[in-house]
Amino acid sequence: MQHRIVVLGAGYTGAIAAGRLARRLYREDVAITLVNAEPDFAERVRMHQLAAGQDLRSLPLSEMFAGTGVELKLAKVTGVDVDRRTVAVVDADGPGEPETEELEYDTLVYALGSGWNDQGVPGAAEHAHQIAGRPGALRLRERLARLDAGESVVVVGGGLTGLEAATEIAEARPDLDVALAARGGLGDWLSPKGRRHLRKVFDKLGITVHEHTAVTGVEADRVTTADGGTIPAAVTLWTTGFAVHPIAEATTLDVTDTGRIVVDGTMRSVSHPDVYAIGDAALAMGPGDKPLRMSCASGTPMAWQAADAIAARLTGGKLPNAPLRYFNQCISLGRREGLIQYVTADDRAVRAALTGRFAAVYKELVCKGAAWGVTNPTLGLPTRRRHVVRQPARAGSPVRTAA
């Protein structure tokens, strides 16, 4: 019998994990199924570009995984039963009424990622836009295209997504009145050099910054703030953080109070050894015993770690022990400006930072590299095969691996 590996979600982490597993394990020994609701891979790190009117290339998952042995299933995950080791899905591409199906697994890789988080602020869900995925970015793109010169756009949230979205929109539409509302100071986690450059770019693009401003309500044409003030907003973009899919919280998995699956250093669930979680959906500890932040920078090495750990455990190989650490934060500030903030292993800013045009090119190369790693899922690993190690993952299912 083949060992059944089911990977939920084909974002950066899920796609990378599925491809790496296909490279590590022989097809006759494992059946790898990748479940995703959409037929195309979405470059989430470019959603602000899509919203600002730029066209992104189409990346069909069927082409990415052709010939790899990975079975792509277009379906929406509706539930996971980790005690019965089953996943409930609804067909996303079948004709007629959607059909519910149950997938059985021996090993589950949970990579459903995250969506936007309205933080429970009144009016945010009804009136604000979000760019956590392609559908939201396209809706914002359409709305921005209908705005007349001089109309106002307010970006709520001063994190990386908010900074990139505000600058991208302001650069693409200099005729609009773009503002950013942040709970803290502008880029207050950056180095002094990084903060200076950020302010310089915001000033150059004419972006109004409302620092130390908590937004407490969203209406169709304005946002209200904690001090009782209002900021005009024909369009409000909400970028105050992400929330994970509620499916994991409904299981018997050990999860945090925000629904993230608690994992060990190999990305294995601390409560269910046949479940691995990666990316935004998982709570993994990094250097300094600090949780890894929700980001592509965290998700990619988490996917590598999980795939290599699964292959090692199935084949009796050596478990991976590569440390998960940070090197920099890459921030695009429009198409011609950027900021590369170098950081410690636990993600604290150091003095060094790269700014300007070179930083923009650097960030673009990082984005292209991340997409290449996903769209070429079985490349980049050694091809030399070593002695086959046989160790049953479960009764009747021997597995072999290639180095």
pLDDT digits (tens, 9 = 90+) for 234-290: 999 999 999 998 999 999 999 999 999 999 999 999 999 999 999 999 999 999 889
Q: Chain-wide mean pLDDT for the chain?
A: 91
Q: Is the pLDDT of residue 111 over 60?
A: yes
Contact call for residues 87 and 103 (beta carbons, < 8 A): yes
Class in CATH terms, 3-115+242-325:
alpha beta
Q: How far apart are CA 292 and CA 270, in angstroms?
A: 16
Q: What is the model's pLDDT at position 385?
A: 29
Q: Is the pLDDT of residue 394 over 70?
A: no
Class in CATH terms, 122-238:
alpha beta
Q: What is the model's pLDDT at position 175?
A: 98
Q: Is the pLDDT of residue 395 over 90?
A: no
Residue 164 — very low, low, confident or very high, per pLDDT cuts 50/70/90?
Answer: very high
Which residues, 6 or more positions from 229, have their beta carbon under 8 angstroms from its beta carbon?
Answer: none
- What would the pLDDT profile of 366-392 be if each residue is shown by its tens digit? 998 888 888 776 665 554 323 234 444
Q: Which residue has the tokens 């090692």?
A: 312
Domain with CATH 3.50.50.60 in the chain: 3-115+242-325, 122-238
59-68, 138-147, 383-392: segment of lowest average pLDDT: 383-392
Q: Is the pLDDT of residue 168 over 90?
A: yes
- Helix (H), strand (E), coil (C) string for 105-117: CCEEEECCCEEEC
